[in-house]
Amino acid sequence: MVVSIKNYLKNIPGKGINRKVIAFAVDDYGNIRQNDWTSLQYMERHGFEIQNHFDRLDGLSTSDDLNALFDVLSKHRDHNAIPPVFTVFTNPQNLNFEKIVSDGYSSVEYEDFTESMNKYSQVDTADIFMNGIEAKYLYPEYHGRTHFHEGMFVSNLLKKDTQTFWCLDHQCYTGLTNHSNNHQSYLSTYSYNDKKEFESLKIHLNEGILAFERIFGRRPLHFTSPGQLTHEELHRYLFEQGVLYIDTTPIKRQFEGNNKYSLVISWLGKKNKNGPTAIVRNCIFEPMYGIDVGHTLNQIKIAFALNKPAIISTHRVNFCGRIDENNRKQGLKKLDVLISSILKKWPDVEFMPTTQMAALI
């Protein structure tokens, strides 16, 4: 009951539209996280911090992952003959593990995620990803340069942390999750202890935008923060770089340094002066955590009843088979049922990328 009231409340403020729009917002594409089953087994036996399903089962997309996803998406069309499209919030770069290891763990080296994809797959997976964009099943947007905090990573290198070295030797990031606090965490790339860090975080954001542009041939328009905990000042910086839309939560407790916090209230479509428009995702589909078809359909129903588009928040881990193929099969099966049910319940629905949806509100 409480959840249901919350679902209504987050859909009330802001401009309505009289179209039934569905936008899938899917996080974490491009990011290397877990590597393979053998690494996972080793880490579980040797006391690494394996905290959740993401640490266990989330890894770089394989060609099988992408082809199986496209098989599901291509089965469906809206009444304008448009297939469902995943807006894939992408980390355009990863660590270049070999380079770091050959440099004796003394420097931070990056590579584009397309290079990582081809390195850690048997076939040219980056081409399959690009074909998915061409076929309009994928629409990339920005999830930060990487999905880990560079400063925290460097401090692990300086400490000669043995688990960090093991992860670098075995091409994965899982297990590096240490020394987090209330306002800074290893997975939150743009979290901070002090506002003085903003300048280096802006450089990191910009390097990621340049990599995004190099890979996709255009600059991103929509940003969702990796792991959240990002200050509005960094959002304004992104706006200056051409990012028009930023994902946020209705109520955000923002860290201001020196144990102080401010409260930022947002809603879907809130325009910020000299800053990006706020996007608040109003539906969740996370089959891995048992949040799937029934729950998501109910949230879509509420969004449509209040004349709002339905922004379905989900993560790559639900469709990832690199570590466990069965995980991908289960997630895609649920996705197929969800899309079929949407089209059956609302035949006049329209699928579109988040930026096309945002331009309507």
In the complex with Zn ion, the residue whose CB is nearer, 173 or 267, is 173
How many whole angstroms separate alpha carbon 213 and alpha carbon 208? 9
Q: H or E stretch including 284? A: strand 283-284
Using CB under 5 A as the binding rule, whether residue 27 contacts Zn ion is answered as yes
Tokens of 224: 């969702």
How many whole angstroms separate alpha carbon 191 and alpha carbon 198? 9
In the complex with Zn ion, the residue whose CB is nearer, 92 or 226, is 226
Q: 220, 155, 144, 140: which is closest to 187 by C-alpha?
A: 144
Indicate the residue whose CB is closest to Zn ion: 27
**Least distance CB 27 / Zn ion (angstroms):** 4
**Least distance CB 187 / Zn ion (angstroms):** 7
Half-sphere exposure (Cβ direction) of 328: Cα atoms closer than 13 Å? 23
How many whole angstroms separate alpha carbon 73 and alpha carbon 131? 14
Q: Which amino acid is at 144?
A: G
How many whole angstroms separate alpha carbon 92 and alpha carbon 311? 23
**Least distance CB 225 / Zn ion (angstroms):** 8
Per-residue interface string for the shown chain with Zn ion, residues 191-230, x marking contact by CB under 5 A: -----------------------------------x----
Q: List the one residue from 28, 55, 197, 292 that touches Zn ion (CB under 5 A).
A: 28
For Zn ion (CB under 5 A), the number of binding residues is 3
**Least distance CB 69 / Zn ion (angstroms):** 18
In the complex with Zn ion, the residue whose CB is nearer, 247 or 292, is 247
Using CB under 5 A as the binding rule, whether residue 58 contacts Zn ion is answered as no
Query: In this chain, which stretch among 22-30, 73-81, 175-183, 299-307 interacts with Zn ion, using CB under 5 A?
Result: 22-30
Q: Specify the 3-state DSSP secondary structure of 95.
A: strand
Residues of this chain that interact with Zn ion (CB under 5 A) are 27-28, 226
